Amino acid sequence: SKYILLAIITLILAASGLFVLFRIFKRDYSVKFRRAFKEHYLMPYFKAFGYRYEISGDIDPAKLKLSGLFFRLDRYLGGNDRVSGVYDGVRFAFCDVKLFNRILESEILGTFFYAEFHKRISSKTLIFPACAGAPNTLGLKKIDMDDAEFNAAFAVYCEDAAGAMYILTPAFMRRLLCFAGAVAAPVSLSFADSKIYIFVNTGRDNFEPDIDESVLRRDPAAQLKRELSHFLAIVKNLKLNERIWS
């Protein structure tokens, strides 16, 4: 019985050791696989459009603060997968970001996008999911739009109601509703000076391929391509609505 017990213990320790080694091997392989995937699939894709893609590319934390979309106590932890370029004469950039909310002691993961236009916006405007609390309205007043579906999905805060009405045209509100439905995640926006900021709170590190899924059966970059098209569609919508710029 002693030898049997010893054999069982030995087998358990060996299995545990093999499991730990497998986890370490898979983690190391996963890092290499994801980088190789991004270099092979994503870099050529963005290069074809004339955009720049940086695997370890970050974003200026000051832009997160200027957006007004985050709590003052949110601590920026870093970002990756930065894409930047010019679309229809509008300079833009977006990347995955990670923040830490010191109040809730939880991480915030998602995609942060911003675009810069050539003219200034007349009214500072913040737009948050209706079901979520506004983190930093900076004394702006809440207004209701003439769209019941939009009001059910989003809460609008602005300096000047008339200015917000110019920004949130019926066409833009439709586009934003479609965008939120397509990304299936909470979406927040802000307009300030000559910039638009968008944060999609996906709750995960986006644009990462699944090591257990064949890239031949499914295009792991499909979600990234869809999100890019949604972001640029919003830029195009704003570009066409020249009357929102003062």
Output the DSSP codes for the chain.
Answer: -HHHHHHHHHHHHHHHHHHHHHHHHHHHHHHHHHHHHIIIIIHHHHHHHT-EEETT----HHHHHHHT-S-TTEEEEEEEEEEEEEETTEEEEEEEEEEEETTTTEEEEEEEEEEE-SS-BSS-EEEEETTS--S--TTPEEE--S-HHHHHHEEEEES-HHHHHHHS-HHHHHHHHHHHHHHTS-EEEEEETTEEEEEE--SS--S---TTS-TTTS-TTHHHHHHHHHHHHHHHHHHH-GGGB-
- The token pair at 192 is 């300030």
Domain that includes residue 82, residue range:
54-244
Q: Are 135 and 71 in contact (CB under 8 A)?
A: yes
Task: Specify the pLDDT at position 17.
Answer: 66
The pTM for the full model equals: 0.77
Q: What is the mean pLDDT of residues 222-228?
A: 70
User: Mean pLDDT: which of 26-30, 142-146, 190-194 is highest?
Assistant: 142-146
* The pair of three-digit structure tokens given for residue 243, joined into one six-digit string: 């009357």
In a domain, 31, yes or no: no
User: Does the residue 5 lie in any domain?
Assistant: no
Structure-token match 């997160």, residue found: 64
Is residue 37, in this structure, part of any structural domain at all?
A: no
Please report whether residue 179 resides in a domain.
Answer: yes
Q: Is residue 121 part of a domain?
A: yes
Alpha-carbon distance of 202 to 204, in angstroms, equals 5
Q: How many CB atoms lie within 10 A of CB 145?
A: 17
Average pLDDT of the residues in 50-66: 89
The structural domain count of the chain equals: 1
Domain membership flag for residue 218: yes
Domain presence at residue 112: yes
Lowest mean pLDDT across 72-76, 104-108, 135-139, 206-210: 206-210
Least confident range from 26-35, 73-82, 105-114: namely 26-35
End-to-end CA gap in the chain: 87
Structure confidence at residue 152 as a pLDDT band (50, 70, 90): very high
Angle of the 170-183 helix axis to the 222-240 helix axis, nearest 10: 170
The pLDDT, as a whole number, for residue 98 is: 92
- The whole-angstrom distance between residue 207's C-alpha and the CA centroid of its chain comes to 10
pLDDT the model gives residue 121: 73
How far is the CA of 65 from the CAs of 68, 85, 133, 189, in angstroms? 6, 22, 17, 13
Look at residue 29 and tell me if it is in a domain. Answer: no
Rg (CA), the chain: 22
Q: Which amino acid is at 51?
A: Y
- Segment among 12-26, 46-60, 96-110, 230-244 with least mean pLDDT: 12-26
